[in-house]
Amino acid sequence: MLDNLTQRLAKVVKTMRGQARLTEDNISEMLREVRLALLEADVALPVVKDFIAKVREKAVGQDVIGSLTPGQALVGVVHRELTELMGGAQATLNLATQPPAIILMAGLQGAGKTTTVGKLAKMLREKQKKKVLTVSCDVYRPAAIDQLQAVSQQAGAEFFPSTVAQKPIDIANAAIDHARRHYFDVLLVDTAGRLAIDEAMMEEIKALHAAVKPIETLFVVDAMLGQDAVNTARAFNEALPLTGVVLTKLDGDARGGAALSVRHVTGKPIKFTGVGEKLTGLDEFYPDRMASRILG
């Protein structure tokens, strides 16, 4: 087991107990430990560098109050800064539009999009009493359409059928029409992902986005991707006006560094985290808890 950051810093700063201020000198060595801790938590390197620079700026000259050691004071600064960078307060879904509120899911294959549609459908139905319709625009994998049908059924949401012979935009338009005519509050649109970033996929989802004009465009990303989450996030953020992020598979041993990286690269709030394969495994995102997880 790795020591947590507080313990690691305590080792570094044994010699500087009693110093009343965080100075360039006493924090340099500690910042090396912070940098290592962030890299171990899978935060991407360029993000770590920016972050350390910010913390250095904030920390230098701060008084070490009361019984705190310089290490504890620095952990406090790091924790606050991480929390702030990940959005400070919690971000929620925006459904304030003429119904149906359309939510478009984007992300690589395997990220957890279909599962997340099921989870969101369940949450919106049970907690907000919304009438929810789902549709799959994945015309490459018939199994993906069947999977969405199964999770929608489990979630108690209505599923709008589609086939691989149709065009994604036609499917989406037909689903919107159905949702309007039957007074659905929310339409969740699942999309095709590829195994890696791919131009054709990006063009398709851009066109789909332009056609359906969703109020929420959620980028779904696997927290286990770690350092690679950055490239994926950058590509989707450049292609689409994302409104939020869902970070999945946080029930595994991912340390959560992807949360900071994705937030840094996209500037978009993380709205939910996936914490299991079951449809109950969706949590709202709490930046302060994630900061603690990243710091170990």
Which residues are at the interface with ligand GDP (CB under 6 A)? 107, 109-115, 193, 248-249, 251-252, 274-277, 281
248 assigned to a ligand binding site: yes
Q: Decide whether 141 or 234 has the Cβ nearer to ligand GDP.
A: 141
Half-sphere exposure of 213 (CA within 13 A, CB side): 4
* Cβ 104 to ligand GDP shortest distance, Å: 13
DSSP 67-86: T--HHHHHHHHHHHHHHHHT
Give Dmax (Cα) for the chain: 72
Q: Decide whether 64 or 218 has the Cβ nearer to ligand GDP.
A: 218
* Cβ 41 to ligand GDP shortest distance, Å: 18
What is the Cα–Cα distance from 286 to 9, expressed in whole angstroms?
25
122 assigned to a ligand binding site: no
* Cβ 149 to ligand GDP shortest distance, Å: 13
234 closest CA partner among 210, 212, 203, 265:
265
* Cβ 128 to ligand GDP shortest distance, Å: 21
113 assigned to a ligand binding site: yes
110 assigned to a ligand binding site: yes
Q: Decide whether 39 or 140 has the Cβ nearer to ligand GDP.
A: 140
State the pairing for strand pair 132-136/158-160. parallel
Q: Quick one: tokens of 102?
A: 């359309």
111 assigned to a ligand binding site: yes
Q: At 61, is the secondary structure helix, strand, or coil?
A: coil
232 assigned to a ligand binding site: no
* Cβ 111 to ligand GDP shortest distance, Å: 4
Q: Decide whether 193 or 256 has the Cβ nearer to ligand GDP.
A: 193
* Cβ 71 to ligand GDP shortest distance, Å: 34
* Cβ 107 to ligand GDP shortest distance, Å: 6
Q: Decide whether 142 or 252 has the Cβ nearer to ligand GDP.
A: 252
36 assigned to a ligand binding site: no
77 closest CA partner among 18, 36, 156, 21:
21
- Point out the residue whose Cβ comes nearest to ligand GDP: 274
Partners of residue 187 on adjacent β-strands: 102, 133
DSSP 205-244: HHHHHHHH--SEEEEEEEGGGGGGHHHHHHHHHHHS---E
169 closest CA partner among 223, 197, 205, 129:
205
Compute the chain's Rg from CA coordinates: 22
Q: Decide whether 115 or 152 has the Cβ nearer to ligand GDP.
A: 115
63 assigned to a ligand binding site: no
Q: Decide whether 156 or 252 has the Cβ nearer to ligand GDP.
A: 252
What is the Cα–Cα distance from 136 to 148, expressed in whole angstroms?
7
Binding residues for GTP: 107-114, 190-194, 248-251
Binding residues: 107-114, 190-194, 248-251
